[in-house]
């Protein structure tokens, strides 16, 4: 009669062949197999939104990063959303600074900043005031780095009775400087008023003397790379070359970055960064202002290469 194991199709324990037994002592002497190569982890990414935005606006960008750089820790800061983004920019710098400091502290290898529109100015100020920041790539995504001078829907909603030609009367007053957009309003026809009244842009540009200018320049130059992104079809940033540190002269002729006094004087470090090869300019046509963070081609061309 067959055993239960045979009836169920099961075999009893089998002894290894004699050849294997003879090789066993030699196999035990072999070194352990090398571990599989481990891909270095990506640096954390911090995203700062713009005027009237929220973290939800960056869901496509988050998807792109997760697809191309799986495992990347991405933090889209959910602060000063919607109308709160009109708060004075120094107040926002303080709030965003308190949020990014612990992220940086936990990333000794460094972090990347992706900062959109108004958020690009917040980030540039952060790089100036944070003594020990460890930002590898600062990606400025369609941000008015040299200021804004244009009639947009945002302005018409906020100041319905004003036009760009007379908005300086509001923006260059103590009351006007209480609005974020006035902190970087740059009227090329009233440069003296801008320099005297601007409580934000003129300071981070080093256009007006202040006791922290040397320290802020040193801090800004800690950045590994400055990536500037913008384009002629933006429709909001005016002039669009402001995204690349270009701006109007008194005749509203655009002067490029290398012709700006802040560059020629190297007042906050632009000239030094360019000489170091640390400035990347990525202009792209055909993208409107609200589409920069959702355009896949733009991401693959101008953002992804710098997310190490």
Active site residue 117: yes
Report the distance separating Cα 12 and Cα 15, nearest Å. Answer: 10
Q: Which of 54, 229, 65 is nearest to 141 (CA)?
A: 229
**Three-state DSSP class for 226?**
strand
Report the distance separating Cα 158 and Cα 257, nearest Å. Answer: 30
Q: Which residues pair with 227 in a beta bridge?
A: 139, 280
Q: Which of 84, 29, 30 is nearest to 53 (CA)?
A: 84
Please identify which of the residues 85, 117, 137, 198 carries the catalytic annotation: 117
User: What is the 8-class DSSP label of residue 33?
Assistant: P
Q: What are phi and psi of 150, to 5 degrees?
A: -165, 150
Please identify which of the residues 140, 234, 242, 267 carries the catalytic annotation: 234
Which residue has tokens 């708060």? 87
Q: Is there a contact between 300 and 247 (Cβ–Cβ < 8 Å)?
A: no
Q: Is there a contact between 126 and 133 (Cβ–Cβ < 8 Å)?
A: yes
What is the crossing angle of helices 118-129 and 89-105, to 10°?
A: 60
Please identify which of the residues 49, 133, 186, 289 carries the catalytic annotation: 289
Q: Name every residue whose Cβ is closer than 8 Å to that of residue 273 and which is 6 or more positions away in sequence.
A: 221, 223, 226, 279
Report the distance separating Cα 48 and Cα 216, nearest Å. Answer: 20
**Three-state DSSP class for 53?**
coil
Q: What b-and-e string marks burial along 27-48, b requiring 16 or more CB atoms within 10 Å of the CB?
A: eeeeeeeeeeeeeeebbbbbbb
Q: What region, left, alpha or beta, does residue 258 occupy, with left being phi > 0 and alpha being psi -120 to 50 degrees?
A: alpha
Active site residue ranges: 117, 234, 289
């Amino acid at each position: 009669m067959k055993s239960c194991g045979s009836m169920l199709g099961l075999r009893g324990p089998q002894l290894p062949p004699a050849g294997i037994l003879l090789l066993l002592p030699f196999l035990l002497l072999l070194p352990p197999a090398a571990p599989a190569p481990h891909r270095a982890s990506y640096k954390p990414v911090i995203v700062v939104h713009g005027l009237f935005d929220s973290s939800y606006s960056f869901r496509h960008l988050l998807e792109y990063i997760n697809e191309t750089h799986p495992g990347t820790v991405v933090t889209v800061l959910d602060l000063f959303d919607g109308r709160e983004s009109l708060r004075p920019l120094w107040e926002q710098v303080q709030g965003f600074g308190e949020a990014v400091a612990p992220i940086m502290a936990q990333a000794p290898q460094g972090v990347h900043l992706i900062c959109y529109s108004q958020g690009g100015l917040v980030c540039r100020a952060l790089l100036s005031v944070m003594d020990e920041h460890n930002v590898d790539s600062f990606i400025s995504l369609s941000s008015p780095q040299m200021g804004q001078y244009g009639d947009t829907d945002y302005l018409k909603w906020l100041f319905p009775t004003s036009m760009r030609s007379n908005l300086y009367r509001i923006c260059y007053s103590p009351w006007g400087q209480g609005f974020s957009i006035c902190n970087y309003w740059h009227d090329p026809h009233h440069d003296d008023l801008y320099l005297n009244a601007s409580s934000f842009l003129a300071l981070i540009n080093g256009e007006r003397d202040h006791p922290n200018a040397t320290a802020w320049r040193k801090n800004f130059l800690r950045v590994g790379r400055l990536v500037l992104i913008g384009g002629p079809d933006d429709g909001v940033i005016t002039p669009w070359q402001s995204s690349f540190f270009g701006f109007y002269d008194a005749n509203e002729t655009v002067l490029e970055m290398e012709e700006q006094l802040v560059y020629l004087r190297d007042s906050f470090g632009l000239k030094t960064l360019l000489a170091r090869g640390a400035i990347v300019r990525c202009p792209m046509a055909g993208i409107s202002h609200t589409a920069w963070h959702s355009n896949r081609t733009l991401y693959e061309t101008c953002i992804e290469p710098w997310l190490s």
